[in-house]
Structure formats: C-alpha cells, structure tokens
C-alpha cells in the first residue's frame, strides 16, 4: 500500500515538473525577440493582439514574436498595467514593451515619469490631429502616446419602446420620470459609462465645459457650485435603475430591463455584433454632449526593445491597419484622423461607423473628460 502510494507520488511530481518546465522554457528560440504587449480593454483586445496584430507584425519582422497579455476591462485593467510598470521602474529592463491603456493611466504614469517620449519619432505621427493625443485630462501628454482608437460614450436606446428619443439631457430627465426604471446607468462606481453620464450632467447644469475640460485652471470654489446639480442628480436617480457597471448596463439592455442607457460605442457595437443586443437598437448623442476617450499606446521607458516597440505602434496606427481592422472589422472610430483612412476603406464601411452619430455630431458633442483635478473632485462630490 505504502510503496504504491510513493510510486504514485513520484510519478505525479515527475509528470507535473515536465508539464511546468514546458511552460517556463517557452517556445522562443534564442535569436527571436519577444515583444510583450499588455493590453487593457475587453477580451476582443486579447483576440486582436493574438490573432491579428501579433501574426501581422511577425510577418513584417520575422525575428520578433509578440506575446499579448490581457489584464481586464475598465480602469481596473489600466490600473494593473500601471502597478506593473511602476513596480518595474527601478529595473534595468522592464518586462513590458508596449501597453494599451485608458486615459487615466497617462495621468498616473507621467506623474512618475514612467514613459518613453516616442510618438514624434514614428512615421504615423503625421496622421494625428486629435487634441486627445496632445492633452489628456488636462495633462500634456504630447509624444508619450498614440491613440489606437477613439471611443465615445453615447446613449443607446431601443426604438421599439422609445418612440421619441430624447435629444438632450432635459428630455432624458422628463422621459425617465414618465418611464421609471427604464433608464439605467451605473452611477459613478464600477464603470466609466456611468461616470461619463454624470460628468455630462455636471457640464449641462453648470454650462462650464470649457473651464472644466479644456482651459482650466482648477478652482476649488467650483466644487460648491456642484452641490445643487448633484442634488438634482440624486432626484433623477430615483426614477432610474442603477446598474453594476458598463457591462451591467448592456446586460440590462439585453434583457429588456431598461430601454435606454449610456454605453461605450465600441462595447455597444461589439455586443451587437455578438448577437447580444437587438439589432434595431440605435444610439445618439444628447446635447450638450457626453465625454469620450481614446485608448492609447504607450511604451515604458525601460523597455528592452524600444525600436521594435515603436515599429509595433507604427504598424497599428498606420492608415491601412486602422482602416481594415479598427474601422472595417470593429466599426470603431479610428485613432488617427479619419480623412487619411478614406483611401483604404470603402464608402459603405465608413458610413456604418458614422451612421447614427455623424462626424459633425461628434465634433460638436463629443466632449472630453474633465481636467484631472476636476475629475477627482467631481467623483468625490458625487459619492
């Protein structure tokens, strides 16, 4: 009995050691360079990295293998990338070569000087016209990042139940009163779509979008002016369904529990493509607008492969790639200026992206999240 047990034990240990060693050794030969690409966002970012960007890059650069690592959706994902890069900062060579992050990451990382200023060195910088590439949350980020795609929060609604969709925040409030519980958003915890709605509310009530998001400066006394709008927001909340997060809002739309709610346009389109949203669902941008943010490529200062990392970003921000993958495959807004993409994509696909929310509407109503300090203050105030 005892001997058999020992034998089983030893076999198990040997088997497991073999198994594990096969993973530690990895599949990379000595000459090949391994580029570690860490991305926040949803699982389709992982799929994109593993099945499209990786193979394409290796095709163009045969001595480089791309390893895509996914950290999870939302601010939590970007936070994790920040923790990792920050923990690595005293190392000579960090583990991460390229990362794809949300706006808030830039704020944390630039404060600690973790990033390489690379954007002006690469070819595709010329295609960037969006102000988001130069300033993010009020911080000067020029050169530290390249937008991969732009995402915008919009109001999604089901036309079967919403016969006269509200065109501005005022009408949203009225509609919610008439249809209690049928408008849903996640407050300020758990997802940026809810935060976007709240921020947009404050923009609407105070009318001070320019000061809060573009020019500044941060003025402590402004916080007091938000007391009344936030009280009204809490009143509004009584007529709505509070969801758990970005996904929970989409979930509720999927199950018909709500008929209208703020969503990220890229998440929305992906869900529709995955058959989880009624294909008749439409989107709109209510006046005076809702904020959006791009997802950025950044390169940590102590990457072991700066040249390859730059080439990587260059490839994904090239008009051809943007046209074929960002615009055509996912129907998202490109990170580079839309005009450069027109050559590579046909009319139909271009139209599909801008169907409900046209470029004009975007330029008028696509706002930015407030300056960092205002951002913090608003979040604190609304709690």
Subset of residues 269 to 288 that bind another protein, contact rule: CB under 8 A: 270-271, 273-278
Rounded to a whole number of angstroms, the minimum distance from the CB of residue 96 to another protein is: 6
**Residue closer to another protein (CB basis): 115 or 128:** 115
Rounded to a whole number of angstroms, the minimum distance from the CB of residue 160 to another protein is: 10
The DSSP code sequence of 88-156 is TTTSSS-S-SEEEE-HHHHHHHHHTT-B---GGGSGGGGG---GGGTEETTEE-TTT-EEEEEEEEEEE
- Is 248 a binding residue for another protein by CB under 8 A? The answer is yes
The DSSP code sequence of 329-359 is IT--EESS-GGGTGGGS-HHHHHHHTSSS-H
Rounded to a whole number of angstroms, the minimum distance from the CB of residue 304 to another protein is: 13
Residues 302-321 that bind another protein (CB under 8 A): none
Residues 131-190 that bind another protein (CB under 8 A): 185-190
Lay out the site mask for another protein across 192-231 (x = CB under 8 A, - = otherwise): --x-------------------------------------
Q: Which span (73-81, 116-124, 142-150, 172-180) binds another protein, by CB under 8 A?
A: 73-81
Count of residues in contact with another protein, rule CB under 8 A? 77
Rounded to a whole number of angstroms, the minimum distance from the CB of residue 147 to another protein is: 21
The DSSP code sequence of 224-277 is HHTHHHHHHHHHHHTTSEE-SSHHHHHHHHHTTS-SEEEEEHHHHHHHHHTT-S
Residues 84-103 that bind another protein (CB under 8 A): 84, 87-88, 91, 95-96
Q: Compute how many other C-beta atoms are within 10 angstroms of the C-beta atom of residue 224.
A: 9
Residues 109-138 that bind another protein (CB under 8 A): none
Inter-CA distances, 307 with 116, 117, 303, 319, Å: 12, 13, 10, 20
Q: Which span (77-85, 127-135, 167-175, 200-208) binds another protein, by CB under 8 A?
A: 77-85
Inter-CA distances, 120 with 133, 314, 375, Å: 11, 11, 28
Rounded to a whole number of angstroms, the minimum distance from the CB of residue 7 to another protein is: 14
Q: Which span (39-47, 117-125, 312-320, 339-347) binds another protein, by CB under 8 A?
A: 39-47
Hey, what long-range contacts does 348-352 have (CB within 8 A, 24 or more apart)? none
């Amino acid at each position: 009995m005892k001997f058999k047990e020992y034998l089983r034990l030893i076999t198990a240990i040997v088997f497991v050691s073999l198994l594990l060693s096969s993973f530690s050794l990895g599949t990379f030969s000595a000459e090949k360079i391994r580029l570690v690409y860490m991305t926040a966002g949803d699982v389709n970012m992982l799929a994109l990295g593993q099945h499209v960007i990786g193979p394409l890059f290796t095709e163009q650069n045969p001595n480089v293998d791309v390893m895509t690592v996914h950290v999870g959706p939302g601010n939590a994902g970007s936070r994790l990338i920040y923790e990792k890069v920050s923990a690595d900062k005293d190392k000579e060579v960090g583990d991460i070569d390229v990362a794809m992050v949300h706006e808030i990451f830039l704020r944390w990382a630039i404060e600690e000087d973790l990033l390489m200023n690379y954007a002006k060195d690469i070819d595709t910088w010329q295609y960037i016209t969006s102000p988001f590439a130069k300033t993010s949350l009020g911080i000067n980020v020029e050169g530290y990042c390249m937008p991969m795609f732009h995402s915008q929060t919009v109001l999604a609604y089901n036309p079967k139940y919403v016969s006269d969709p509200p065109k501005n925040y005022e009408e949203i409030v009225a509609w919610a009163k008439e249809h209690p519980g049928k408008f849903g958003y996640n407050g300020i915890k758990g997802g940026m779509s809810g935060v976007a709605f709240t921020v947009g509310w404050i923009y609407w009530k105070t009318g001070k979008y320019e000061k809060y998001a573009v020019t500044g400066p941060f003025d402590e006394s402004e916080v007091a002016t938000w007391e009344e709008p936030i009280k009204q927001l809490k009143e509004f909340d009584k007529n709505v369904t509070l969801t758990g997060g970005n996904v929970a809002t989409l979930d509720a739309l999927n199950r018909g529990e709500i008929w209208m709610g703020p969503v990220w346009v890229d998440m929305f389109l992906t869900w529709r493509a995955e058959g989880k949203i009624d294909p008749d669902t439409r989107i709109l941008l209510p006046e005076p607008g809702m904020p959006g943010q791009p997802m950025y490529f950044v390169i940590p200062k102590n990457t072991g492969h700066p040249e390859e990392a730059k080439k990587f970003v260059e490839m994904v921000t090239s008009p051809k790639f943007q046209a074929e993958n960002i615009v055509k495959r996912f129907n998202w807004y490109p990170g580079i200026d839309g005009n450069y993409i027109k050559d590579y994509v046909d009319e139909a696909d271009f139209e599909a992206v801008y169907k409900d929310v046209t470029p004009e509407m975007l330029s008028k109503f696509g706002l930015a999240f407030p300056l960092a300090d205002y951002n913090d203050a608003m979040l604190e105030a609304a709690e």
